[in-house]
Structure 1
Amino acid sequence: MPTSPNARHRLFLIDAMAHIYRAYYAVRGLATKSGQPTNAVFGFTSIVRKLQKTYAPEYLVVAMDSAAPSFRKAWFENYKANRAEMPADLQEQIPVIEKVCDALRIPRVKVDGYEADDLIGTLARLAVEQGLEAVIVSNDKDMTQLVRDGISILRVDNKSGEFVWCDRAGVEAWIGVPPEQVVDVLALWGDSSDNIPGAPGIGEKGAVQLIRQFGSLDEALARHAEVSRKTYREALRDHQATIALAKRLVTICQEAPVTLDLESFRSQPPDAAACYELFSALEFKALTAEFAKLLAAAEQVPSATPTAAVTTSYHELATSEGLRRAFDSVYARDSFAFHFEDDAGVMTRGSLSFGPGHALRFERAALDAGTRDGLLEILANGLVNKACHDAKRALYLINCPPHSGVPATEALASGQDFRFESLRDDVHLAGYLLDPGVKAERLTLTGLAETYLGLEAGAVQALDPADVVSRLQAVLRPKLESEGLLTVYETMELPLTPVLYDVECAGVRIDPAPLVELEAELRRELERLTTEIYELAGEPFNINSPQQVADIFEKLNYETSKKTATGRISTSADVLEELAERYDLPRLILEYREHEKLLNTYVTVLPRLVHPATGRLHTTFTQTVTATGRLSSVRPNLQNIPIRTEMGRRTRRAFVAEEGCRLISADYSQIELRLLAHITEDARMTAAFQAGEDIHERTARDVFGAQTPEELQATRRLAKATNFGIAYGVGAYGLARNVGIGRKEAKKAIDAYFAAYPGIRRYMEETPENARRTGVVRTLYGRLRRMPDLNSRNFTVRSRAEREAINAPIQGTAADLMKLAMIEVARRLPAAFPRARLVLQVHDELLLEAPADDAPGVAALVRSVMEGVATLRVPLVVEARIGTNWLEAK
């Protein structure tokens, strides 16, 4: 970083509003569990703490705007007249940011009638006059006019997030002119956000070009006749008074009534107790942990982090005798935690813990045949409870099934069918259930320990992993109990893990022939679509480039209400669907995208994912990704395999049964609508399902007045879209877009729907309000989803949360039922049909493989289990089909 030749002391001047606005728009959707917005607070605090840790400022002050009008209003009545009012959810964060400054013991300056820029400009001048170096911490280009000897800018790089120093050379690289010419550029350019007019038709690039050409604004105005570009020449000639006013307005005042009180600006250590309390309330986990550690060092350990203070007692086991004694000692215990470390899927180390702070550790190389069997015996012993992190991963490390790519010689177990007994806790699953919307990195051992133990990442990594599991188990199980989540945890998530492991090991056979045929057809279709798209556009362009597509749309004068942040036409899928109703080109682009996604995601990829050791495709299922409880899968993501289009459905022909076997598809029929009827207790919908009626035809009659077969046919699609749309909380706009009708017609349809099904209306009105009070919604089995955005001041965010609150109990209960069914099917299959196996789960469907003679019996068993997994007000109905491939079975 630049240093002054006489090593002057530094005063850091933080431009609060610049960083607050930047944080507000960069960090979206962050809020506490109660819905208090915290995105601007978090972003601002992160910048300030990074500044403190990186540069340890000797003097530091935060400059803030006053609510009072600027003195510039006297010069120009419309100054900032067009500026949008500060968003309500940002406005309420300003007092919290002031509390952050106070807790961090950073002084704040604010003067009525003056803006933060003026205070910074004045304090920077005074600092230099008193022999200090002033460092302005801001990303505001206006500030660059202040840079000179002794004054520099420290800004945050938008890409890397790192600090960048900006001296005279830095200003010229950033703006295009040296600091003394910045005001001239700003005067020509103007500032639409502050309603500073500038020179009409001259933007930033043009302003820089003119000032570099003439050296100053005065010269450019005096020699306007020499400007070659007509619009620039006329702007300089005809708007000199406006430009002069703009220069006056953009010039930062350096004579504001503020005093440089160095002693009050001297940096002080943060108030650790106040910071801990504040950041705990704001749910900033890392910052809370940071100040918990400071308090602990000062012997003021907060009660929220008792486990962080536990001392450690670790023992390395290097001999067979030591390992044998350690494993034998387990039988005298009620429980233990374990963890295996690995390198590329091969176990390298293991450890056991009998309580927080304790660990017995061993290298994989230290295990001989006897001690390996001893380890497996304690893991399979049903009399001793166990805890781990990610049990499915541990099963892979022990069993090393063929598709894992790890040689069988690396397996601890002799086969691939080893299972844990009495696995009481998996802290990975426990953390997910407590906050199912959390990001994946927060469910790692380190992330969980940071969140629930108040430990920093470095401190976690210094602990033995089994010890961390033990500490987490002591905290998470009581939390699950207090949140009413033990039933979901113990009857669904924990027992599902070995079932998913078996499904992944089984895999499904892929026949490449249908995919080769489909690939050729898709490529022909893409060529045809490309030709037609270019003809309609009038020129070739990159169809996959949103920018180039937007350029074409603008050239063709397409109109849409949705724009990007830069003012361009959006080319997102929903906008293309809207435009496709009026124009052929967007319709063809949508079709092109669908074909290309199908080709590149499934058709050409599936054959490459077939494992050479098994000849089958082995997807990976995850329990901890979706907020609703549904399973997800990767490599490939079979939850998104296309079914709406004919070509999408044809990919299922490639999923085939082994020779002499059949595939059995068992699919819940309209499960979410049936759950909607049960949960809302709507009498009419419940009666329709109890009578075995077609619910879409019933809706067509009761809601849309259809009587004749022709009318039923005409309105059934609208009825179906309305039924499913309501289950997802869709409004008039969404229904209109989904069905292709006008918004007024869609609103009329929804009103008629609610009149016919008043129980559903009551549910949709009451559920978001109840969730707003409690902060959560729950499935019938108690699975929760936290809903902080229900209290957002942002209408779009709040509306989306309301739709999610309405749908989550329905979709989540459907996921619960499917998990219970999978567990029961897996339990009953081995005794009834030992050669049958589950091979896939996709949404509301199970796919099984069985010998051809067993297939009808398997279909009957699975249908019976799935339909009988719960007793509801309406019957659960399962459609089971048999075929040689998935499409045939579907």
Structure 2
Amino acid sequence: MDAPAAEPRHRLFLVDAMAHIYRAYYAVRGLATKAGQPTNAVFGFTSILRKLQKVYAPEYLVVAMDSPAPSFRKGLFDAYKAHRAEMPADLQEQIPLIEEVCDALRIPRLRVDGYEADDLIGTLAQMATEQGLATVIVSNDKDMTQLVSDRTSLLRVDNKSGEFVLCNRSEVETWMGVPPERVVDVLALWGDSSDNIPGAPGIGEKGAVQIIRQFGSLDEALARHAEVSRKAYREALRDHQDTIRLAQRLVTICREAPVTLDLPAFRAQPPDAAACHALFTRLEFKALTAEFAKLLTTSDETPTPAPAASVTTSYQTLTTPTELRRAFDSAYARDHIAFHLEDLDGVFTRGSLSFGPGHGLRFERATLDAEATAALLEVLANGLVNKSCHDVKRALYLINCPPHGSAPTDQALDPTHAFRLESLTDDVCLAAYLLNPGVKAEQLALPALAETYLGSQAAADLDPADLVSRLRQALRPKLAAEELTAVYETMELPLAPVLYDLECAGIKIDPKPLAELETELRAELERLTAEIHALAGSSFNINSPQQVADVFERLNYETSKKTATGKISTSADVLEELAEKYDLPKLILEYREHEKLLNTYVTVLPRLVNPATGRLHTTFTQTVTATGRLSSVRPNLQNIPIRTEMGRRTRRAFIAEEGHLLISADYSQIELRLLAHITEDARMTAAFQAGEDIHERTARDVFGAQTPDALRDMRRLAKATNFGIAYGVGAYGLARNVGIGRKEAKKAIDAYFAAYPGIKRYMDETPEHARRTGVVRTLYGRLRRMPDLQSRNFTLRARAEREAINAPIQGTAADLMKLAMIEVANRLPQAFPQARLVLQVHDELLLEAPAADAPGVADLVKSSMEGVAKLRVPLTVEARIGANWLEAK
């Protein structure tokens, strides 16, 4: 993985004003002063500027604006932007106010007649590069991606989270399908209807990307048009070359505009607090007014005027739809809102909003009429209103209830199930889990979190949304102090809606293979029962640990592990130990596995199919495991047995819809690759870099296998040792796993460490470092607390040492999978809108797509999973396609 790069000190931030102004204008509707002055675009654009200042603290900053004078492109093509509608009147009257905001914030503005903001930005970026400065272009305009280079990046606002996303060359290629230097070529073929730029007739975005990727450039595509297989594309390239060349000139951003890179003038200055206070008071932006009032009280400046900032400290119950609509509309003027939804048996019954600690607006579901409901959903879906809650996935279910895509009811706030929650900056449940991933589920409930972080009185007396608001303020500094902010913002928060979509999608189940498997399993259980009773010399309840222990004692089985009552333990590890010596425990293990498969999956899965969707919908949880891995319930699909033939056959029942196929994409040996990367062991790293079979390499280097027969014989031991070491296994565990003596296992481990000294160093140093710090971390900073490393109990301490060794590896694998899920979920809708994620199990993603799209989806998910991180060794993903999960696997 690339280490997080240090941010360059000398960076020029270039803000594309009109792109953000239009975005704000359409995202925030109906915001105005009491006198009727529209302020929605002003508020949205101001929010972007303030967030930019707070998050990045730019050293150099300038806002580029369009000129009302015609662009030089009009001279090239008279119809340029001829079809574009006039700027709305209520937006036009906000432009002078936006200029006032820039001036009050002391951000220089730049405008040149005859040139667009894009051209000013392109020219300044070119000049900055020549002077050795890094440039950050703040824009959501795809055209700007052509300017991205090694020293120029694009900072866009994510439409879902409302957070900034920094795009470099690789992100541009993911977004646009081609590298930055080929973006103009794609745009020339695609055209731009909003600017009335003609492209190649019949060649849209997808076709343009395909053509440029095939030929490498527009020049090559035009010269070799006869090689294009699709007739419509071939004819468009042949017959419209002049139009395409004109479009190429129109979409190319000018880098020679008459502007000067005046760095002293562009150096960022602190805002004029008095001017900001006066302006935001006039615009009735309460949170911004309060912010600058606070700044003024700590400076020598005197606010003019200077009203005292009022803070609501009481709760209000809203009892009419009109009150609700007004309350929801007032949220647009707030920097942040907290919300909480309560339910009865999974149906939303009441809710509350908070605009800050001490404030709460309560309402009943029954009070919401159609207009008030629409107003609430519009606030929650608005990307310019930052918000927080407790358990966002649960909130999505309550809004789109009932769950899992079943038939809508009159209780659903959004019966279409199309609602998307935008700009969620905090989920206090996820935040608390990251701070202490070992806590039980009940400790993450809102009242328990309030008692832990705010005190028992707060938990008892405060409104739920107020609790969320207060917890957000309490937990954010703790996340920062523990260096968990990045994991929180880039992994856990964006993953929650992905899991919601995955759960709602579900997967189709074919009951026929399960019925066949049930028949076979029952026959096998009958056979095993007879054999077990025969070996035991009597009939007994095989499912009773007490009776099994009695049989073992009667047969004088020897084991060191006893229960508290002195009986022989019948746990799985004891049975595995005894199975090395005796046939009976071996048969009992087989019996248990068959019975678990039968009673947990084979007979249960058909009963869990949702009758409304005809699909199985498991529930994924982010807040259960200490390592960060996802868990699933009803059913737990993470535990489907795969070591036996019958266990693997269970996957035949997971099928695609008619006309569709399943795509399975699985990380290959992810934990061993992470072991090589984390330990920096030279030999293991070199083996992966060379694409060698790591188990054969270990068989040769560790166990001396040289001939094909020896490699075949020793590979099993090498594989068990490789994976066992990653989990901190000792000689006893390896001996049990492989079926060899403990001395032989000890010898194998010693040889392993001699061959891979970097791994030995990691295993020695990691528990000691964790003992000093109390935590271990993944490559991304996710922590796991290790209190048992200080335990006086040898068993607890030894287990903690093994966990400390494995947690960074397993946890990083979980992090990579979460990033991959987010990446795939972001890319799929645009590339393959009918494809969808349907399952995640361990290191595998399962997707469903129309049969024609399946190969493309396989390529997309493979590239996404392999590209989420750059390690010292390559990440490898195996993607397969099939009508059912077993075929795809």
> For the superposition of Structure 1 and Structure 2, which TM-score range results when normalised by the shorter chain?
0.5 to 0.7
**1:752 maps to 2:751:** yes
Cα displacement string for residues 291-323 of structure 1 (whole angstroms, at most 9, x for unaligned residues): xxxxxxxxxxxxxxxxxxx99511000012211
Query: What is the match of residue 328 of structure 1?
Result: 329
Which amino acid in structure 1 is aligned with residue 470 of structure 2? Answer: R
Is the partner of 2:628 in helix, strand or coil? coil
Tell me, in whole angstroms, the C-alpha distance in 2 between the residues paired with 1:538 and 1:674.
49
Tell me, in whole angstroms, the C-alpha distance in 2 between the residues paired with 1:567 and 1:584.
23
Query: What is the match of residue 661 of structure 1?
Result: 660
Which amino acid in structure 2 is aligned with residue 474 of structure 1? Answer: Q
Distance 1:353 1:311, change over 3 A: closer
Query: What is the match of residue 145 of structure 2?
Result: none
Which blocks of at least 5 consecutive residues in structure 1 are unaligned?
A: 1-309
Tell me, in whole angstroms, the C-alpha distance in 1 between the residues paired with 2:564 and 2:535.
27
Query: What is the match of residue 142 of structure 1?
Result: none
Cα displacement string for residues 96-142 of structure 1 (whole angstroms, at most 9, x for unaligned residues): xxxxxxxxxxxxxxxxxxxxxxxxxxxxxxxxxxxxxxxxxxxxxxx
Cα displacement string for residues 553-607 of structure 1 (whole angstroms, at most 9, x for unaligned residues): 1111111111111111111111111111111111111110000000000000000
Which amino acid in structure 1 is aligned with residue 456 of structure 2? Answer: L
**1:365 maps to 2:363:** no
Tell me, in whole angstroms, the C-alpha distance in 2 between the residues paired with 1:802 and 1:812.
15
Query: What is the match of residue 341 of structure 1?
Result: 342
Tell me, in whole angstroms, the C-alpha distance in 2 between the residues paired with 1:533 and 1:826.
49
Query: What is the match of residue 865 of structure 1?
Result: 864
Q: Please say if residues 836 and 849 of structure 1, whose CA atoms lie closer than 8 Å, have aligned partners that are also in contact.
A: yes
Across the aligned residues of Structure 1 and Structure 2, the Cα RMSD in angstroms comes to 1.2
Tell me, in whole angstroms, the C-alpha distance in 2 between the residues paired with 1:401 and 1:879.
36
Cα displacement string for residues 671-717 of structure 1 (whole angstroms, at most 9, x for unaligned residues): 00000000000000000000000000000000000000111111111
**1:594 maps to 2:593:** yes
Query: What is the match of residue 129 of structure 1?
Result: none
- CA shift, 1:760, in A, is 0.2
Query: What is the match of residue 436 of structure 2?
Result: 435
- CA shift, 1:329, in A, is 1.1
Cα displacement string for residues 634-656 of structure 1 (whole angstroms, at most 9, x for unaligned residues): 00000001100000000000000
Which amino acid in structure 2 is aligned with residue 471 of structure 1? Answer: R
Give the count of matched residue pairs.
579
Query: What is the match of residue 697 of structure 2?
Result: 698
- CA shift, 1:409, in A, is 2.3
Q: Please say if residues 767 and 805 of structure 2, whose CA atoms lie closer than 8 Å, have aligned partners that are also in contact.
A: yes
Cα displacement string for residues 736-780 of structure 1 (whole angstroms, at most 9, x for unaligned residues): 111111111111000000000000000000000111111100000
Distance 1:336 1:603, change over 3 A: same
Which amino acid in structure 1 is aligned with residue 391 of structure 2? Answer: D
Tell me, in whole angstroms, the C-alpha distance in 2 between the residues paired with 1:712 and 1:757.
19
Superposed, 1:702-851 pairs within 5 Å as 702-851=701-850
Which amino acid in structure 2 is aligned with residue 367 of structure 1? Answer: L
Q: Please say if residues 405 and 417 of structure 2, whose CA atoms lie closer than 8 Å, have aligned partners that are also in contact.
A: no
Tell me, in whole angstroms, the C-alpha distance in 1 between the residues paired with 2:673 and 2:865.
14
Superposed, 1:52-63 pairs within 5 Å as none
Cα displacement string for residues 222-259 of structure 1 (whole angstroms, at most 9, x for unaligned residues): xxxxxxxxxxxxxxxxxxxxxxxxxxxxxxxxxxxxxx
**1:387 maps to 2:417:** no
Is the partner of 2:642 in helix, strand or coil? coil
4+ runs deviating over 6 angstroms: none
Which amino acid in structure 2 is aligned with residue 691 of structure 1? Answer: A
Query: What is the match of residue 545 of structure 1?
Result: 544
Superposed, 1:54-203 pairs within 5 Å as none
Is the partner of 2:456 in helix, strand or coil? coil
**1:316 maps to 2:317:** yes
- CA shift, 1:814, in A, is 0.5
Q: Please say if residues 400 and 406 of structure 1, whose CA atoms lie closer than 8 Å, have aligned partners that are also in contact.
A: no
Q: Please say if residues 721 and 738 of structure 1, whose CA atoms lie closer than 8 Å, have aligned partners that are also in contact.
A: yes
Distance 1:401 1:880, change over 3 A: farther
Cα displacement string for residues 617-675 of structure 1 (whole angstroms, at most 9, x for unaligned residues): 00000000000000000000000011000000000000001111100000000000000
- CA shift, 1:408, in A, is 3.0
Is the partner of 2:847 in helix, strand or coil? strand
Is the partner of 1:408 in helix, strand or coil? coil
Tell me, in whole angstroms, the C-alpha distance in 2 between the residues paired with 1:672 and 1:504.
26
- CA shift, 1:461, in A, is 3.9
Query: What is the match of residue 672 of structure 2?
Result: 673
Is the partner of 2:361 in helix, strand or coil? strand
- CA shift, 1:402, in A, is 5.6
- CA shift, 1:417, in A, is 2.1
Q: Please say if residues 665 and 846 of structure 2, whose CA atoms lie closer than 8 Å, have aligned partners that are also in contact.
A: yes
Tell me, in whole angstroms, the C-alpha distance in 1 between the residues paired with 2:359 and 2:600.
47
Tell me, in whole angstroms, the C-alpha distance in 1 between the residues paired with 2:385 and 2:855.
41
- CA shift, 1:508, in A, is 0.2
Query: What is the match of residue 577 of structure 2?
Result: 578
Which amino acid in structure 1 is aligned with residue 468 of structure 2? Answer: V
Mean CA deviation greater in 404-413 or 552-561? 404-413
The percent identity for this pair of structures is: 83
Superposed, 1:523-672 pairs within 5 Å as 523-672=522-671
Q: Please say if residues 404 and 505 of structure 2, whose CA atoms lie closer than 8 Å, have aligned partners that are also in contact.
A: no
Q: Please say if residues 726 and 805 of structure 2, whose CA atoms lie closer than 8 Å, have aligned partners that are also in contact.
A: yes
Determine which structure has more spread, i.e. the larger CA radius of gyration: 1
Is the partner of 1:532 in helix, strand or coil? helix
Q: Please say if residues 346 and 402 of structure 2, whose CA atoms lie closer than 8 Å, have aligned partners that are also in contact.
A: no
Query: What is the match of residue 355 of structure 1?
Result: 356
Q: Please say if residues 339 and 352 of structure 2, whose CA atoms lie closer than 8 Å, have aligned partners that are also in contact.
A: yes
Tell me, in whole angstroms, the C-alpha distance in 2 between the residues paired with 1:778 and 1:454.
29
Is the partner of 1:403 in helix, strand or coil? coil
Distance 1:389 1:406, change over 3 A: farther
Q: Please say if residues 562 and 575 of structure 1, whose CA atoms lie closer than 8 Å, have aligned partners that are also in contact.
A: yes
**1:446 maps to 2:478:** no
Q: Please say if residues 405 and 613 of structure 2, whose CA atoms lie closer than 8 Å, have aligned partners that are also in contact.
A: no
Q: Please say if residues 360 and 466 of structure 2, whose CA atoms lie closer than 8 Å, have aligned partners that are also in contact.
A: yes
Which amino acid in structure 2 is aligned with residue 702 of structure 1? Answer: D
Tell me, in whole angstroms, the C-alpha distance in 2 between the residues paired with 1:539 and 1:853.
59
Tell me, in whole angstroms, the C-alpha distance in 2 between the residues paired with 1:518 and 1:311.
64
Tell me, in whole angstroms, the C-alpha distance in 2 between the residues paired with 1:508 and 1:677.
35
- CA shift, 1:454, in A, is 2.1
Tell me, in whole angstroms, the C-alpha distance in 1 between the residues paired with 2:544 and 2:407.
41
Query: What is the match of residue 141 of structure 1?
Result: none
Which amino acid in structure 1 is aligned with residue 864 of structure 2? Answer: V
Which amino acid in structure 2 is aligned with residue 816 of structure 1? Answer: D
- CA shift, 1:405, in A, is 5.7
- CA shift, 1:363, in A, is 0.4
- CA shift, 1:382, in A, is 1.2
- CA shift, 1:414, in A, is 4.1
Tell me, in whole angstroms, the C-alpha distance in 2 between the residues paired with 1:713 and 1:402.
50
Tell me, in whole angstroms, the C-alpha distance in 2 between the residues paired with 1:720 and 1:623.
30
Is the partner of 2:421 in helix, strand or coil? coil
Which amino acid in structure 1 is aligned with residue 796 of structure 2? Answer: V
- CA shift, 1:806, in A, is 0.4
Query: What is the match of residue 396 of structure 1?
Result: 397
Which amino acid in structure 2 is aligned with residue 502 of structure 1? Answer: D
Q: Please say if residues 396 and 404 of structure 1, whose CA atoms lie closer than 8 Å, have aligned partners that are also in contact.
A: no
Tell me, in whole angstroms, the C-alpha distance in 1 between the residues paired with 2:451 and 2:731.
43
Query: What is the match of residue 413 of structure 1?
Result: 414
Which blocks of at least 5 consecutive residues in structure 2 are unaligned?
A: 1-310
Is the partner of 2:324 in helix, strand or coil? helix
Q: Please say if residues 677 and 871 of structure 2, whose CA atoms lie closer than 8 Å, have aligned partners that are also in contact.
A: yes
Which amino acid in structure 1 is aligned with residue 872 of structure 2? Answer: R
Tell me, in whole angstroms, the C-alpha distance in 2 between the residues paired with 1:403 and 1:687.
46
**1:853 maps to 2:852:** yes
Normalised to the residue count of structure 2, the TM-score between the two structures is 0.64
Which amino acid in structure 2 is aligned with residue 365 of structure 1? Answer: A
- CA shift, 1:350, in A, is 0.7
Is the partner of 2:881 in helix, strand or coil? strand
